[in-house]
């Protein structure tokens, strides 16, 4: 099974060739490759898979998805504590 996550771009133009970006996922920051996409901007949401941004994502859809992940995590934490 493959898992791709929505992440928010917080810095662009990193790396030796400028084709990397810094992204944030719930406070975790990671440098990823954006070489598969054109014109990635700060504030964009992208789908991240194995270190590569695969596509842009509508901000509203990204927020809905991130909210669902957060709710699932909270539920799993409650179940583990029970």
Q: What is the pLDDT of residues 24-68, one digit of tens each?
A: 988 999 999 999 999 999 999 999 999 999 999 999 999 998 899
Partners of 53 in beta bridges = 48
Q: CA 21 → CA 9, 14, 31, distances in Å?
A: 7, 6, 6
Total number of domains constituting the chain: 1
Which residue range is the domain that position 23 belongs to? Answer: 5-81
pLDDT confidence band for 1 (50 / 70 / 90): low
Pairing type for strands 20-25 and 5-14 reads antiparallel
Rounded to whole angstroms, the Cα distance separating 22 from 78 reads: 31
| Cα–Cα nearest to 9, from 25, 49, 66, 17 | 25
How many residues in total does the chain contain? 82
CATH number at residue 30: 2.30.30.140
């Amino acid at each position: 099974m493959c898992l791709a996550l929505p992440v928010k771009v917080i810095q662009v133009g990193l790396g030796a060739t400028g084709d990397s970006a810094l992204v944030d996922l719930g406070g975790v920051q990671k440098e990823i490759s954006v070489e598969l996409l054109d014109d990635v901007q700060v504030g964009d949401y992208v789908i991240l898979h194995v270190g590569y941004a695969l596509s842009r994502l509508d901000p509203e859809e990204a927020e809905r998805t991130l909210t669902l992940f957060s709710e699932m995590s909270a539920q799993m934490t409650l179940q583990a504590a029970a």
